[in-house]
Structure 1
Amino acid sequence: ERSAVGEHILLGGDNIDLALARHTEAQLAAKGTKLDALQLHALWQQCRVAKEKLLSDDKLKDEPVTILGKGTGLVGGTIRAKLLRKDLDAILLDGFLPAVASTEMPQRARRVGLAEIGLPYAADAAITRHLARFLRQPAATAEHGAVRRGPSGLACPTHVLFNGGVLRANLVKERLLAVLNGWLTAEGMDHAVPLFGEDLMHAVARGAAYYGMARHGRGVRIRGGVPRTYYVGIESAMPAVPGLPAPLKALTVAPFGMEEGTELRFPDRTFGLVTGEPAEFRFFQSTERKNDAPGAMLDEVDDSLDELAPMEVTLPGNEGELVPVTLETVVTETGVLQLWCVARDGRRWKLEFNVRASHQHA
């Protein structure tokens, strides 16, 4: 049974490869060779190859990196550099796997006012800080005492299963275990024991294939449910104040651990649904608030909630009509959370979003 789920963090091998490429680019620039965007991208890929060779053979001290120059000659226009093992180790251990305390959380970079629309990459590259944040998540009632915790509240795992190609390197696994076991020692707990799989490069693909078989009754499926608690924003019925929006409350529509294929109804709460004109629906999620009961109303939206992308839709009905509705929540087998608004006369409106990808639809 799954007890906790961390954030999906875009941080791993690609980040390491780019850091190595930037380091090599700086070395080339110091010698008078400036790279353009295309050459940097090629260097990025070459550093990935060099990194994998160095991490797979402890005897290698360096690995050549070669990219094409801007000249017309095939050989004369070649740019050559070396990726040194000592530089690789320093970037990995100091930049991505620093030895930090279990109380150190990921740093949040100051945001620029305008940014390109793209993937939500992690602002802090220190993997160990993200691990500390995950283990510092508040305990959920659903744990039922199954998760051992230290005196400070740190979740203290007994075993660690490595997954993903970057973790094939002994250097990475050893540093992660050293940092984790240091935290466990400080909590007075025994060290975690590493578990070993067959092939880390194909572990994710095999896991996905096994999950597909388990859904058809041909394997053991881990019981888990939704990995976060989900809320919908409810506008408060308050007198209007010039220049200020109405206060927003948050209704718990899907508690942490709600099983896929189940539904919840909230017949005791009635809300007004706007139809026939554009209306904005705001949804929130939380990895911290694991014990909020279905239908619980939070009087304010605080920092424990993360807002998802708002949804603006025009629901069918009379223009500007405020229809009294009750709410129903369904989590499908494919991980889609459906929020149904049910009127007394039988009319129904559906809002939905993917709890695995957080993309909303109406």
Structure 2
Amino acid sequence: MTGRIDYPGSSLPEVSEDESSESIIIPPKMEPEDIWAFGILVVHIYNRGLPFKMPQGAQVTASVLDSTLPSHPGRAATSRGLDFVVWRVARDCWHPLPSHRPRASQVLRIVQTHSNQVHMPETMLDLFSHVQDEVPDLTSEIRVQPTAPAFVGPASYARVRARWGPPEIAPRIVDVVLTRRDEAVPLDSTGWSRPLLDELVRWRRLRHANLVPLLGRCSIGGVGYAVSPAYTHCDARTWLADEDQNAKRRESSDSNAPLMKLLRDISNALAFLHEQTYPIRHGNVHIDNVFVPPYPSMGHRELTVNGCLGRFDRVLSFDVNDPKCRRAISEDVKMYGSLFYEVLRSRYQFPHDNSPEDFHGLRKRREGDVQLVHAIYRDTFERDSPIVEMPAIVGYINQLVMHALAGKA
């Protein structure tokens, strides 16, 4: 069950009539509330939107169980001048768990010394210091069953399932995944490897609904781990196979809509990264690094947010005038084209395929949508240098999603 969470607020203490007013001590407002208000204020200034209220207990529990944060119109805020780091700080400030919000001193230091680039500390000591400062330590709240088997993740990673029990949502618990580099990567005296610390800094500095969130860090048996949502135990390949089987079983005209939604979500994440003042390259746009949360069901007709892009060890930001910038962003676009083919190849015949066009529901598609699918693939993957950018692709994919929901694409 979900228990109600009461946030401490600032209020005058009850005083009897015979007490002197001089003896009344007004308690200071609790810092978690002040920090929440700071985040709301920042967004309100840049968005000109109305701040939302402090969440109720049920909302907090639901957000933590779903590994989500309150939505935020990132693109609109960016256009009003809300830079990348300030936006990230604002997101941290309204974390649903008060214990995970930054302290006022941390907020002040980040705002005063921030860089809009995904800057990486150079020394191991600096890396560890930044991870300690920016990534919540969940060690005391993580429970790993002694018999829990490690399972194979992407190359150079090892993962194990665990449970996270934040006291604010007790007695509820959250299933999570713990990730470390494999045993071939040496650890320092603190139990961390440099590659994982390096990735944690990059990972923590990115915030978007379609990027896998980093929940925190922990140390188990003297080894450091990243903590991520439970759905990161399995990439999108399994989900795609299930969708293909479902499409064959049911006679549904909108069976391609979930695939289009997945592509839309990943294109949204990349457009967000590429549109920053200092464009950010993800560098690992691959089906192995795409994850699909089990909520809400992608079979629903509404335009839900689902697909998330993970793995952040190659994330890098560039000055827009850097000659390498265009090449790096094009690398992401080309990888997206490969992902585009991977997701849709069971439903569409692509120009280089020799298989017959006998895919489920093909006769119901608009010829214009088929041509658009081919054009996206050709302009992102087949060309040596992609001629389209992610914001344009987002528009094309949204068009395909709408037509797929109507059973035409």
Is TM-score (shorter-chain normalized) higher than 0.5?
no
Q: Which of the pair has more CA radius of gyration?
A: 1
Q: TM-score, normalised by structure 1?
A: 0.26
| Between structures 1 and 2, the one with greater strand share | 1
| Between structures 1 and 2, the one with greater helix share | 2
Greater RCO, 1 or 2 (C-alpha within 8 Å, sep 6+): 2
